[in-house]
Amino acid sequence: MHPLVRAFTRSLGQSRIKLPARRPLLIAFFASVLAVLPAGLHAADAPTIIRIGTIPGLKFDLSEFSVRPSAEVEVIFTNSEEMLHNFVIVKPGTRETVGLAALTLGAGAAEREFVPPTPDVLFSTKVVPAGSSASLKFTAPATPGDYPYVCTFPGHYFLMFGTMIVTNDPRPPVKTPLTPAKPVTSSTAPVTTTSGAVTARAVTTRTFMPASGPASIAVQLPGGVSYCWDAGAGRFRYAWTGGYVTTPAAAERGLAQINGDVFYEEPAFPLSLGTSPGAKPRQVDFKGYTIDAQRVPEFETVVDGVTVRERAEIKDGKLIRRFRTSGEATVWFAIPSEADAPGLTATGGTKQGAFYKFAGAAAKEFTITMPVPPAAPLPAR
Ligand code: CU
DSSP state of 41: S
Residues 228 and 357 in one domain: yes
Burial class (CB in 10 A: 0-12, 13-18, 19+), 172: exposed
The string of pLDDT tens digits covering residues 169-186 is 866 656 665 433 333 333
Last residue of a domain, one of 175, 192, 219: 175
- Give the distance (Å) from ligand 1 centre to CA of residue 136: 16
| Residue 191 covered by a domain | no
Residues 100 and 221 in one domain: no
| Residue 380 covered by a domain | no
Q: What is the pLDDT of residue 294?
A: 80
Q: What is the pLDDT of residue 250?
A: 56
Residues 116 and 209 in one domain: no
Residues 210 and 346 in one domain: yes
| Residue 198 covered by a domain | no
| Residue 181 covered by a domain | no
DSSP state of 80: -
Q: What is the pLDDT of residue 256?
A: 83
- Give the distance (Å) from ligand 1 centre to CA of residue 123: 16
- Are 79 and 85 contacting, i.e. CB atoms less than 8 angstroms apart? yes
Residues 243 and 353 in one domain: yes
- Give the distance (Å) from ligand 1 centre to CA of residue 188: 17
| Residue 309 covered by a domain | yes
pLDDT, mean of residues 351-366: 93
Residues 25 and 70 in one domain: no
pLDDT, mean of residues 320-346: 93
- Give the distance (Å) from ligand 1 centre to CA of residue 310: 25
Is pLDDT above 70 for 187? Answer: no
Last residue of a domain, one of 175, 192, 212: 175
CATH code of the domain covering residue 149: 2.60.40.420
Residues in Cβ contact with 71 at an 8 Å cutoff, skipping those fewer than 6 apart: 42, 45, 47, 48, 139, 140
The string of pLDDT tens digits covering residues 244-255 is 888 776 545 678
Residues 53 and 108 in one domain: yes
- Are 73 and 137 contacting, i.e. CB atoms less than 8 angstroms apart? yes
The sheet that has 132-139: what strands, in order across it? 48-52, 72-79, 132-139
- Give the distance (Å) from ligand 1 centre to CA of residue 85: 4
- Give the distance (Å) from ligand 1 centre to CA of residue 370: 35
> Percentage of residues in the chain with pLDDT exceeding 90?
43
- Give the distance (Å) from ligand 1 centre to CA of residue 288: 16
Residues 87 and 133 in one domain: yes
Higher pLDDT pick, 274 / 185: 274
pLDDT, mean of residues 69-84: 91
Residues 54 and 35 in one domain: no
Is pLDDT above 70 for 115? Answer: yes
Is pLDDT above 60 for 24? Answer: no
Residues 362 and 240 in one domain: yes
**Host domain of residue 123:** 48-175
The string of pLDDT tens digits covering residues 291-307 is 887 888 999 999 999 99
Residues 361 and 216 in one domain: yes
Residues 233 and 117 in one domain: no
- Give the distance (Å) from ligand 1 centre to CA of residue 56: 11
Q: What is the pLDDT of residue 334?
A: 96
| Residue 105 covered by a domain | yes
| Residue 56 covered by a domain | yes
Calpha distance 224→232 (Å, rounded)? 25
| Residue 180 covered by a domain | no
Calpha distance 185→56 (Å, rounded)? 8
Query: How many angstroms separate the Cα of 132 from the Cα of each of 76, 86, 127, 160?
Result: 10, 11, 10, 18
Is pLDDT above 50 for 217? Answer: yes
Number of domains the chain contains: 3
